[in-house]
């Protein structure tokens, strides 16, 4: 229903709004999203996507089309993007095989130079991207 109403495309327009960033609080840290209404809105939308995608394969497929926008937000502290990405791939082997290697590569590209940063959401996302058969 959300796809039919065009809501997915409307959400993506919001995610395209540039986010002003603050410098990391310590060497090896992540850039931060300032505590603004935009950051709050993005977090609410990421939470919404997480809840809506968890059990809907159709919605997962529709939102996957725009997931490159979310992956760009991974290295920004203060955004709940990893939760949304986990929901997009939740229990969906087809999506995992499409994006898993690229997302894991991106996570470790961000994580490796910032060894002092431990983002539990990233590890949860990695766990969902690895499938044992």
Coil, strand, or helix at residue 73?
coil
Residue range 47-102, pLDDT digits in tens: 999 998 888 888 888 888 888 888 888 888 888 888 888 888 888 888 888 888 88
d(CA 126, CA 107): 8
Domain ranges of the chain: 35-129
- Per DSSP, what are the bridge partners of residue 32? 22, 77
What is the DSSP code string of 60-72? HHHHHTTHHHHHH
pTM of the model: 0.78
Of 111 and 108, the one with more pLDDT:
108
Q: What angle do CA 101, 73, 104 make, to 5 degrees?
A: 15
């Amino acid at each position: 229903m959300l796809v039919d109403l065009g809501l997915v495309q409307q959400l993506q327009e919001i995610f395209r709004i540039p986010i002003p960033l603050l410098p990391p609080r310590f060497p090896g840290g992540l850039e931060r999203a300032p505590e603004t209404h935009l950051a709050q809105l993005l977090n609410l939308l990421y939470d919404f996507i997480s809840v809506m995608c968890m059990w809907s394969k159709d919605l997962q497929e529709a939102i996957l089309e725009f997931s490159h926008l979310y992956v760009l937000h991974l290295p920004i502290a203060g955004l709940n993007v990893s939760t949304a990405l986990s929901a997009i791939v939740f229990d969906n082997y087809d999506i995992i095989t499409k994006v898993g290697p690229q997302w894991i590569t991106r996570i470790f590209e961000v994580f490796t130079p910032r060894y002092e940063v431990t983002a539990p959401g990233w590890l949860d996302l990695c766990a969902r991207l690895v499938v044992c058969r």
